[in-house]
């Protein structure tokens, strides 16, 4: 045997060792690859199964002996196959689009990730997904309208520019999960994890996650003949054209906004008919801003009384709520003073504690 052949065989053997393979006789199900520091009890708790069921499904003789790279089949997840991997949810991805990509139902994907509801995936979330070696996926090329009551798979195939005979294939039959009225329909092709239709050419927003006291910038490339609208939480988004041909919307996040999830809704409308051709929703995370803290005592009590401050806050919100349909500025935003450290005695967003807790607010 030549040295070159020995080297090739060694590389092949090492490659096979790197692929987690369940032991013979294991039950079918998703495969979890043991990580350093894992225990059977911790794995069982993570996936909501009993340790006894995990031992039985994998015919484990000694539960105290696990090694990194060992493949374990997780019982109790019928219909889910493949090796489990961790991925971060990106803008445009939902449980529906991810389930389409990984050939698993949205309900099973939600259960695998201990999600109480199957519509709560948010941008930046770490999600467990089953990766199969050869998974059949559906393309992200969308029809030009939402599915309507009474639509059939045959009609949807014809409207997408595909052969109408695809309606009788097993692959096209997989669309049954996504053909409810008011949902986006997909054709057959390469897998795609994004839920945007063909009318949206690109979509970005910064910063992600959203941050208290910061302005969120939405930039969307959209085909001619369509308009955009949307909302973020209870605030309407107003899009205007930018110099690079994309549409832009700005939305501030209140400096005292509660950290957590905020709903984003985007609607694409055909300009001439005003027909809604696409509706998209996703949840975004708000994180705390990196602000300092000040304690201010000796402030006149009447000025920090909520009976006085609350109406003032409501008035400010009402004044800031209206938006014009076109932008009324040009150039970049800047601080009102160039001598930042000398002129500013407090930074925007700084938390303030007035009179030993009489009022907690911000600058």
User: Which pLDDT band, with edges at 50, 70 and 90, does 341 fall under?
Assistant: low
Residues of the chain with CATH 3.10.350.10: 83-131
Percent of the chain with pLDDT strictly greater than 70: 71
The DSSP call for residue 245 is S
What stretches of the chain show up as alpha helix (H) in DSSP? 3-18, 40-46, 51-57, 95-101, 106-112, 153-159, 170-173, 306-320, 340-343
Helix (H, G, I), strand (E, B) or coil at 116: coil
Query: What is the pairing mode between strands 247-252 and 293-296?
Result: unpaired
The residues, ordered by sequence, that sit 6+ positions from 342 with a Cβ below 8 Å of its Cβ are: none
Would you state the pLDDT for residue 280?
82
Phi then psi for 19, rounded to 5 degrees? -95, 115
pLDDT over 70 (residue 34): yes
Phi then psi for 73, rounded to 5 degrees? -85, 135
Tell me which CATH code domain 200-287 carries. Answer: 2.60.40.10
Would you state the pLDDT for residue 288?
93
Q: In terms of Cα–Cα distance, which of 279, 267, 264 is closest to 205?
A: 264
Structure tokens at 343: 């002129």
Residues of the chain with CATH 2.60.40.10: 200-287
Calpha distance 54→160 (Å, rounded): 45
Average pLDDT value for the chain: 76
User: Which pLDDT band, with edges at 50, 70 and 90, does 139 fall under?
Assistant: very low
Would you state the pLDDT for residue 190?
38
Q: Half-sphere exposure (CA, 13 Å, Cβ side) for 235?
A: 20
Structure tokens at 86: 């961790």
pTM of the predicted model, to two decimals? 0.68
User: Which pLDDT band, with edges at 50, 70 and 90, does 317 fall under?
Assistant: confident
User: Which CATH number is 83-131's, of 1.10.150.20, 3.40.50.720, 3.40.47.40, 3.10.350.10?
Assistant: 3.10.350.10
Q: What are the tens digits of pLDDT across the range 165-223?
A: 333 333 333 333 333 333 333 333 334 567 777 788 889 999 999 999 999 999 999 99
Count of helix runs (H) and strand runs (E) in the chain: 9, 18
Stronger pLDDT, 186 or 237, i.e. the higher one:
237
Calpha distance 213→348 (Å, rounded): 8
The residues, ordered by sequence, that sit 6+ positions from 130 with a Cβ below 8 Å of its Cβ are: 30, 80, 81, 82, 83, 84, 85, 102, 104, 112
The DSSP call for residue 122 is B
**CA distances from residue 266 to 6, 197, 207, 227, 251 in whole angstroms, order as listed:** 58, 12, 18, 11, 14
Helix (H, G, I), strand (E, B) or coil at 265: strand
User: Which pLDDT band, with edges at 50, 70 and 90, does 97 fall under?
Assistant: confident
Query: What is the pairing mode between strands 71-73 and 126-131?
Result: unpaired
Q: What are the tens digits of pLDDT across the range 53-87?
A: 999 999 999 988 888 999 999 998 888 889 999 99
Segment 329-334 shows an average pLDDT of 74
């Amino acid at each position: 045997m030549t040295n070159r052949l020995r080297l090739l065989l060694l590389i092949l053997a090492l490659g096979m060792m790197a692929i987690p393979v369940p032991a013979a006789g294991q039950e079918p199900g998703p495969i979890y690859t043991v990580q350093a520091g894992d225990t059977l009890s911790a794995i069982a708790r993570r996936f909501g199964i009993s340790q006894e069921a995990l031992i039985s499904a994998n015919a484990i003789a000694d539960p105290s002996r696990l090694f990194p790279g060992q493949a374990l089949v997780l019982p109790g997840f019928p219909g889910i196959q493949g090796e489990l991997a961790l991925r971060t949810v990106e803008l445009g991805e939902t449980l529906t689009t991810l389930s389409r990509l990984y050939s698993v139902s949205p309900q099973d994907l939600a259960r695998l990730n201990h999600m109480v509801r199957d519509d709560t995936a948010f941008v930046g979330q770490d999600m467990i997904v089953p990766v199969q070696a050869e998974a059949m996926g559906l393309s992200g090329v969308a029809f030009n309208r939402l599915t309507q009551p009474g639509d059939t798979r045959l009609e949807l195939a014809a409207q997408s520019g595909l052969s109408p005979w695809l309606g009788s294939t097993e692959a096209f039959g997989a669309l049954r999960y996504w053909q409810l009225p008011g949902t986006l329909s997909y054709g057959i092709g390469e897998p795609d994890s994004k839920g945007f239709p063909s009318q949206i050419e690109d979509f970005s927003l910064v910063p992600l996650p959203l941050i208290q006291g910061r302005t969120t910038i939405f930039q969307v490339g959209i085909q001619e003949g369509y308009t955009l609208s949307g909302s973020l939480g209870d605030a309407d988004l107003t899009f205007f054209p930018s110099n690079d041909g994309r549409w832009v919307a700005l939305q501030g996040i209140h400096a005292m906004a509660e950290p957590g999830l905020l709903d984003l809704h985007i609607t694409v409308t055909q300009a001439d008919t005003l027909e809604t051709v696409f509706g998209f929703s996703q949840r975004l995370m708000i994180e705390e801003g990196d602000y300092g803290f000040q304690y201010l005592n000796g402030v006149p009590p009447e000025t920090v009384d909520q009976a006085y401050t609350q109406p003032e806050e409501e008035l400010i919100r009402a004044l800031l709520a209206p938006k014009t349909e076109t932008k009324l500025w040009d150039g970049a935003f800047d601080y009102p003073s160039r001598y930042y450290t000398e002129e500013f005695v407090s930074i925007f967003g700084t938390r303030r504690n007035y009179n030993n807790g009489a009022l907690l607010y911000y600058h």
